[in-house]
Structure 1
């Protein structure tokens, strides 16, 4: 009853907003209010062998989460320069595991444009705060991860088809509890880019990355190492026709730590095919070092995804995807080699009764199979969101 009473004011606000919403997608200023509901069957990603009473102090694994969210977008064009601001704030509320309640955000300030006839560039700053994924850290406690990222890119057009591009970025990751995952991630690189008359883009370049952990130990054990990474990579994108395009990259990665040197190949590919006016099929694949900052240890991740979209009517779109991720964690420091395989199924539908209203319904199922028993789990989710734009 208390939960229902708490939701009544939110429902009244959304109902009033729905009546007042006047959204124009061409406006340079827009805002939105959103309310989401999700039931998660295994919030902490506990394995079947774990007793939830002992692990989290409850006799159940699942919970209902209600998430109010507000946000907005501003775009300002000055001559050939465009400035953008995207901001949103969300506050997930767990009905049972209320210790996980928090206020998060994802804000981004950006610029892109041309300078003269030959120079172009872009820059952005992002500030994000989110609850860490329990499937990664496998610790049953609230850990809020805040990431501050600044990036910039500059390019020079040699002619209408060829350009030289350099880029740089720096990210600071901070955790409220898992401080051994705090780090600085710095990247910079350059490439030569060729653009065809039909919109195809080909490039070859190199990226250099350094990852510096603030604290490399956890419970007295060394769990992370600073490392550097160099990637030499060839990328390509080509639209064969308005219904079919393909893109991808292939590169060679060298990783250096204080104790090891290793190398591996890196690749990704993506295909989009609009089979009919109402149907779209996509496939993606990637093989790369897992991104740092969210999990213990380093891993090589292979990702496969098959997706489909069907436009049932002008206002209703359904979509589905199958995802398979393979993680290989090489033996390092005091951690033995192990492998994780994650399968995910997603089914969803969006209904847009009017331009100012978006509704989404979805269901997911995920299974992680690992040769480390405590990392094996099943999880399913059911959810819906209503978004009103102004």
Structure 2
């Protein structure tokens, strides 16, 4: 019980979690405890983490000047309560998940927040040949401090909320050929103004054709057309070339291939283009995609190796930087190439060792002001975790994280190390 309600300095801000956890543990065994196949299940858990560089600050930056205290490190408690629903009714299947995620910081307590998240999905069937999925989700989390390094809003509590509503349908012409289509609406907002990625919403329609094989292999071609707008910006800001809306077009070819009984491939190749209504200087286009190889080396060792390329909006102006220690750059978008490998060793039925290594190359493009050089970063990230599930109801995990970024511009490099311990109860 003490692991679930651990607090620092006897701080009373954790008292509500003592009450919630105690009441939950009293009620759950009687009303919620789930057996295999049950419709309703619940999870309660806590992660205690020590992070040496919360805001991903460069060694060049004196933390006292930007966060008010002479430290980069913090102890963080993240407590989660989640309910899960999985119900099959006739040909329909319903899934829902709702969670409260309480984040508490010891040194930087202005970052404290309670995140409310949910996902819901209806796997609908009109006939065996016409079916699809209707889904939605809502997430709340702090913006990634590594992405905000150097900007005036980089050391504040800036919550990013995302809402998505998606409908897709599949019509099976025959066993091999299927028509696919859908509509999508996404809304992204920040609690504080950000320059890099504004409040926006995008509505899209998509359609295509899929070829499937009895083995589970499939090849899908889809085209997506989207109309986006920057929320609460009725007029373009000419001085900064900040637009009011944009159009997106994406062509995608996706392959799912179970190569053998032990290996499978999930690959995607696409071309994404975004055009802004008033300022073509902000437009971008290029190749996007990913390649994932899942391989069961033995019955106890599994490896996932992957590569992904992504293009994302990242609009800047020269006046957005925090202080002169950061070398200025200008951009309209960023391209990220990520290479990763993630092996898992199931040592025993109850103990597993997880590892992951990521290498990310990021390049900023679309400068709107003349500067000597553009920005280019490389990030090395590593994770080692040991998981232990002594009972079906109890899950324990200890993890070590390491991140290091190098940049060709002054002020954007950082090192961070974190250790964490997690406890989770499943009912």
- Normalising by structure 1, what TM-score? 0.92
Aligned partner of 2:304 in structure 1 is: 282
Q: Secondary structure at the match of 1:241?
A: coil
Shift of 1:58: 0.5
Between the aligned partners of 1:187 and 1:340, the Cα distance in structure 2 is 32
- Verify: 1:354 aligned to 2:391, yes or no: yes
Between the aligned partners of 1:223 and 1:338, the Cα distance in structure 2 is 20
2:170 pairs with one of 147, 155, 164: 155
Between the aligned partners of 1:45 and 1:188, the Cα distance in structure 2 is 38
Aligned partner of 2:181 in structure 1 is: 166
Q: 1:317-367 CA distances to partner (integer Å, 9 max, x unpaired)? A: 111011011111113334853112111011112111111111121111111
Pair 367,227 (structure 1): closer, same or farther in 2 beyond 3 Å: farther
- Verify: 1:34 aligned to 2:45, yes or no: yes
Aligned partner of 2:78 in structure 1 is: 67
| Runs of 4+ residues deviating >6 angstroms | 15-20
Q: Give 5+ residue unaligned stretches, structure 1.
A: none
2:365 pairs with one of 319, 323, 330: 330
Aligned partner of 1:320 in structure 2 is: 355
- 1:23–1:356: 8 Å Cα contact kept in structure 2? no
Q: Secondary structure at the match of 1:191?
A: strand
- Verify: 1:241 aligned to 2:260, yes or no: yes
Aligned length: 388
Pair 213,245 (structure 1): closer, same or farther in 2 beyond 3 Å: same
- 2:56–2:415: 8 Å Cα contact kept in structure 1? yes
Shift of 1:251: 2.1
Aligned partner of 2:9 in structure 1 is: 3
Shift of 1:189: 1.1
Between the aligned partners of 2:403 and 2:57, the Cα distance in structure 1 is 13
2:379 pairs with one of 328, 332, 342: 342
Q: Secondary structure at the match of 1:3?
A: coil
Pair 62,335 (structure 1): closer, same or farther in 2 beyond 3 Å: farther
Shift of 1:300: 1.2
Aligned partner of 2:405 in structure 1 is: 368
Between the aligned partners of 1:145 and 1:217, the Cα distance in structure 2 is 23
Pair 83,331 (structure 1): closer, same or farther in 2 beyond 3 Å: same
Q: 1:191-247 CA distances to partner (integer Å, 9 max, x unpaired)? A: 2011101110111121223332234999x7446774322222211011122211112
1:145 pairs with one of 138, 150, 160: 160
Please show how residues 1-390 of structure 1 align to structure 2 within 5 Å. Answer: 3-4=9-10, 21=29, 22-138=33-149, 139-178=154-193, 181-214=198-231, 215=233, 221-222=240-241, 226-257=245-276, 258-260=279-281, 261-290=283-312, 297-334=332-369, 337-390=374-427
Pair 110,272 (structure 1): closer, same or farther in 2 beyond 3 Å: same
Q: CA RMSD in A?
A: 2.6
Shift of 1:162: 1.0
Q: Give 5+ residue unaligned stretches, structure 2.
A: 1-6, 316-330
Q: Secondary structure at the match of 1:290?
A: strand
Pair 163,329 (structure 1): closer, same or farther in 2 beyond 3 Å: same
Q: Secondary structure at the match of 1:91?
A: strand
- 1:127–1:149: 8 Å Cα contact kept in structure 2? yes
Shift of 1:23: 3.8
- 1:221–1:334: 8 Å Cα contact kept in structure 2? no
